[in-house]
Amino acid sequence: MNPIPLFKVFGIQINLDFSWFFIFFLVTFTLAEGFFPHFYPGYSFIVYWIVGSISAVLLFVSVLLHELSHSVTALHFGIPVKSINLFIFGGVAMIEEEAPNPKVEFLVAAAGPLCSFTLGILFFTMAYFYPVDDLLNGIINYLMYVNFALGLFNLVPAFPLDGGRILRAIIWTKKDLLTATRISSLSGTIFAYFLMFVGVISILQGNFINGMWYGLIGLFLRQASKTSYEQTKFSVILSGYKVENFMQTVKPLLPDETVLDFINFYYPFYRSSIYPVIGRDGQIYVINIEDIKNIPEERWSVVHVIDIAKPLIAYVSPYDSLYKALKLMNKYRLEEIPVVYGNTILGILRKSSIELLLERYLEEEKR
């Protein structure tokens, strides 16, 4: 299921994943049935649930501010941020690219915990100046506690947690990015297994809910550290190659050629799902094999390719890296992308060529 779009801040789309409702309910339940009645007795059931849900909303506002701090810092250094997604394990900023150097990596990673600690100190000060033993004091104390906890947990040096990214930035100053990522991912995996171990111990001690929770976070973190390492590895490999060495040269279709010409004389040799056409205005267009499927076969000899051609939405330059090309192909869900230099179509780049290159790397790595 697609997440629910909420609103935009600094051009960043804030989304709510459906799994978020589960954690929101769990937090509200724990606060309304546990924390508030225990420390602030004497109120009615409904008051505890209202205060509990307000506190849960404010907890996720704190999480959002933490992720926004990462995002705004990334944007400041020119790294695009697509969205921030709130989900069962908190929040995640979808930062689109690797930091260009260790310093930027360090600052982007440190911004989140710094924000959480600042909020923690803010609520600590509020609690100091509002020492009344009521529910408002309870909310303030709860927010102070969760913000300090958020800052501390994220500082654990377990990649891809913030602390793991800080560790990676430090190693990156001495070694290359890939080595730094491998080491910090290993610490991420070790911490993930540690959490799972704590989970099992908790369950054996009869604390089932806490145990499950540790186990789930451990599983999630292990998967996240593995995926992040692989993404970094692929981006480092693909950034080292240029499109021009992997593209296939093609002769573009001319506007007066028919669909039948394409099927007879082009398609058998190129077998590509898209194909470039030079328009009568000299601009580059593309036809899509899916559009041809919608045309009855007996009309193929009368329909001109330019009639079904569409303007170019995405293309790469021969000097672009394969990494950039792959990101564009993923963004527009393309199997092939036209390669354009100035106003000239040079060829097409296939996703399968990139995948083949990565496969070769993986095989070599195994050996």
Cα 290 from Cα 90, distance rounded (Å): 40
Site for Zn ion contains 62 (CB under 5 A): no
Catalytic residue (choose from 33, 67, 298, 336): 67
- The residue range among 104-112, 130-138, 210-218, 301-309 that interacts with Zn ion, by the rule CB under 5 A, is 104-112
Cα 48 from Cα 40, distance rounded (Å): 9
Return the amino acid letter for 319.
Answer: Y
Instruction: Classify residue 284 by its DSSP letter.
Output: E
- Nearest-10 crossing angle of helices 45-76, 102-129: 150
- The residue range among 108-116, 203-211, 266-274, 325-333 that interacts with Zn ion, by the rule CB under 5 A, is 108-116
Site for Zn ion contains 154 (CB under 5 A): yes
- What residues contact 190, with CB distance under 8 A and at least 6 apart? 158
Task: Give the other-Cβ count within 10 Å of 343's Cβ.
Answer: 9
State which residue, 154 or 258, has the beta carbon closest to Zn ion: 154
Q: Is 183 helix (H, G, I), strand (E, B) or coil?
A: helix
Q: Which of 102, 112, 188, 215 binds Zn ion (CB under 5 A)?
A: 112
Cα 124 from Cα 340, distance rounded (Å): 58
Where in 156-185 is the site for Zn ion (CB under 5 A)?
A: 162
- The residue range among 154-162, 229-237, 265-273, 280-288 that interacts with Zn ion, by the rule CB under 5 A, is 154-162
Return the amino acid letter for 279.
Answer: G
Q: Is 307 annotated as a binding residue?
A: no
Q: Is 304 annotated as a binding residue?
A: no
With 0-12 / 13-18 / 19 or more C-beta atoms within 10 angstroms meaning exposed / middle / buried, residue 314 is: middle
Nearest distance from C-beta of residue 342 to Zn ion, angstroms: 43
Asked about 359 being catalytic, the answer comes back as no
Binding-site size, Zn ion (CB under 5 A): 3
Q: Is 134 annotated as a binding residue?
A: no
Q: Which residue is nearest to Zn ion (CB)?
A: 112
Residues identified as active-site: 67
By the criterion CB under 5 A, which residues form the site for Zn ion? 112, 154, 162
Residues of each annotated binding site: 66, 70, 162
